Amino acid sequence: MEPVNLDESFASFDETWAPRIAAELNDYAVKVAKLDGEFVWHAHDETDELFLVRDGRLRIEFRDRDDAVLGSGDLLVVPRGVEHRPVALEPTEVLLVEPTETLNTGDAEKSDLTHGDPERLS
């Protein structure tokens, strides 16, 4: 049981759209990620996904409902199976809470943005 310093966690990497695991609980991971620009359309058929914006602005686009715009301190849960696309409106830092094995690109075709085994920071 060691505290996780989020400032240190975010300072430890520069790569965008490549989540790192900052902590784990039960079968879930608290992932930290830096975002910039558009990601890919995808869904997670088996799990919900929680986005918590630490710094910056994030729009989460949906095909079948209004987009959500999140600022620092805002969080949103995207329900399982809902197709979405995160778009960082400026460089943005987020916390993600989801099962540890969740693929960041979900059901989208694998690409350079796909990170199936995130680095553990602690």
Residue 61 is part of a domain; what is its CATH number?
Answer: 2.60.120.10
Look up residue 31 and give its two tokens.
């992932």
Query: Does residue 111 form part of some domain?
Result: no
Is the pLDDT at 14 greater than 80? The verdict is yes
What integer pLDDT is reported at residue 116 of this predicted model?
74
pLDDT, tens only, 82-118: 999 999 999 999 999 999 989 898 899 888 888 878 8
Output the CA torsion 50→58→6→100 (10° steps).
Answer: 30
91 assigned to some structural domain? yes
Q: Beta-carbon neighbour count of residue 106 at 10 Å?
A: 21
Domain of residue 19, residue span: 6-99
* Domain presence at residue 36: yes
In a domain, 33, yes or no: yes
**pLDDT value at position 88?**
98
Is 88 within the bounds of a domain? Answer: yes
Domain contains 118: no
The confidence score (pLDDT) of residue 75 equals 98
pLDDT for the residue numbered 118 = 85
pTM, to two decimals: 0.93
Average pLDDT, the chain: 95
> Does residue 94 form part of some domain?
yes
Task: Determine the pLDDT at residue 69.
Answer: 98
Query: What whole-number distance in Å separates Cα of residue 89 and Cα of residue 8?
Result: 23
Tokens representing 20 are 């790192």
pLDDT per position as a tens digit, 35-61: 999 999 999 999 999 999 999 999 999
* pLDDT for the residue 4: 96
Domain count, the chain: 1
In a domain, 106, yes or no: no
